[in-house]
Amino acid sequence: MKSDHDSFCILKIFIISLYLLLLPLHLYASKLDIYGYFQPQLTGTSSNDDFYQFSSNKLRIDFKCEYSKSVTFGANYNFIQYSGKTQWNMLEYIPTTISNAVPAAQTESYDILYEDDIILDNAYIKLSFKYADITMGKQQISLGTGYAWNPTDVFNYKDLLDPAYEQPGHNAYRIDFPINNKYSVLLIYSPENTSENSGKLISIKGKLGHFDYAFIGIEKEFLFTDYFTFDDTTQKRKILGGDFVGEFLGLGVWGEYAYNLIKDTDDFYESVTGIDYTFIGGTYIMCEYYRNTGGKDDYKKYDLNDWLQFITAQTKTISRDQIYASLTHPMTDLITAGTSVITSLNDGSLSLIPSFTYSLFENVDLSVFLNFNLGKKGTNYDRTLGDGGTARLQVYF
């Protein structure tokens, strides 16, 4: 945890930043919109016969100011405070067949510490011209049509317990060119220390019948940690892919594909195919198949790096082929219950995620997610990895 002095400094910097941020906006007070939410969250997890609790309080404050029809400023700060078990050892959450190989003296190196934080999550300005929208600054970027996985989204890593949760902002320059009602072009430049290792993206989007589709080309560097030596390396990838979404025989269908070309290493591809349907009465089902040839097809080949790079969101998967299936039903006008299942087709393991959402009051939602791992030892969803649950309240203002 940070010392009181550190916390005070952060608070001081924040207040000054906030003042500087709000000063020009104050001039446009009549057009300034301030909103956000408060989100207390409690997580419990069982591991090796122990039960731990971890809670967080997140306050998100959004600012949006429309100077004119052509100029929009948006930003948000996240204040996050953690309590309970804030220090975790990643080795406790991987199969013992792998973690036991780490010398006892080194286990502390695998600790993760959750520290209170104040983050300028987004801060961008959007300029709208007749033939283009230009967005500059830290901004959310959402790519692809998949629900649980997005092969073409090189900016974000989704949490499979809650794939629809908001993603953080990324520093980028974005230009959207709407060519006509059918076609548009998207350009993104995500600056790093040199132009060579900066992220570049071009996407051409179109419509065909009742389908939307896009072709995409990306160049981006990815950071990987070798968890045997703790050396960081970067890997530059060129990615070619595309996506589609539409309707076929009354079913919603979507797909996404990305071929990753990597210098000096084997290429691999990711693909997603999904379908969904809503029954009369509101029951909703969806199913998505994900293939990542960078993953392994035999769980006996999973190693320390596979596990820890996955846990730290440096890779999207451990096993090669997975299915995400979900069913939700509106139990009453305010309560929705559902269950999701994630299964690895390679090792036969699965994770069960029952969920429940309740609109407690106007602008107050309660969500509960449970998580049960049911796979055999050493597999992607090894039952010894522990079970858990999260209760989350969101109060919007």
Summarize as ranges the residues that interact with another protein (CB under 8 A): 35, 37, 72, 128, 133, 139-142, 145, 147, 164, 166-167, 176, 178, 181, 184, 210, 212, 245-247, 250-253, 276-282, 284, 286, 328, 330, 332-334, 336, 359, 361-363, 365, 394, 396-397
CB of 369 to another protein, least distance (A): 14
CB of 114 to another protein, least distance (A): 23
Q: Which of 67/268 has CB closer to another protein?
A: 67
CB of 347 to another protein, least distance (A): 28
Q: Which of 44/330 has CB closer to another protein?
A: 330
User: 243 is written with which tokens?
Assistant: 């996506």
- CA dist 87 and 1 (Å) reads 10
Q: What is the DSSP string of 285-343?
A: EEEEEEEETTSBS-GGG--HHHHHHHHTTSSS-SBSEEEEEEEEEESSSSEEEEEEEEE
CB of 282 to another protein, least distance (A): 5
Length of the chain counted residue by residue: 397
Q: Which of 94/214 has CB closer to another protein?
A: 214
CB of 71 to another protein, least distance (A): 12
- CA dist 68 and 91 (Å) reads 53
- CA dist 327 and 338 (Å) reads 5
Q: Which of 218/286 has CB closer to another protein?
A: 286
Report CA-CA distances (Å) from 19 to 12, 127, 316.
11, 24, 39
Q: Which of 188/318 has CB closer to another protein?
A: 188
- CA dist 186 and 198 (Å) reads 17
User: 202 is written with which tokens?
Assistant: 């071009």
Q: Which of 329/376 has CB closer to another protein?
A: 329
Q: Determine contact, residues 41/56, Cβ cutoff 8 Å.
A: yes
Residues 6+ apart with CB under 8 A from 2: 10, 115, 116
CB of 170 to another protein, least distance (A): 11
Mapped onto helix, strand or coil, the DSSP state of residue 59 is: strand
CB of 243 to another protein, least distance (A): 11
CB of 310 to another protein, least distance (A): 23
> Looking at beta carbons, which pairs linking 328-334 to residues 24 or more positions away fall under 8 Å?
328/283, 328/284, 328/355, 329/281, 329/282, 329/283, 329/284, 330/282, 330/283, 334/358, 334/359
Q: Which of 219/365 has CB closer to another protein?
A: 365
Report CA-CA distances (Å) from 231 to 101, 146, 302, 308.
19, 32, 20, 13
CB of 221 to another protein, least distance (A): 23
Q: Which residue type sits at 349? A: S
Residues 6+ apart with CB under 8 A from 85: 52, 53, 54
Report CA-CA distances (Å) from 251 to 279, 285, 378.
11, 10, 36
Q: Positive or negative, the Cα torsion across 10, 89, 386, 286? A: positive
Q: Which of 309/390 has CB closer to another protein?
A: 390
Q: Which of 221/276 has CB closer to another protein?
A: 276
- Residue 313 class from Cβ within 10 Å (0-12 exposed, 13-18 middle, 19+ buried)? exposed
CB of 31 to another protein, least distance (A): 14
Q: Which of 9/179 has CB closer to another protein?
A: 179
CB of 35 to another protein, least distance (A): 6
Q: Which of 147/307 has CB closer to another protein?
A: 147
C-beta atoms surrounding 248 within 10 Å: 10
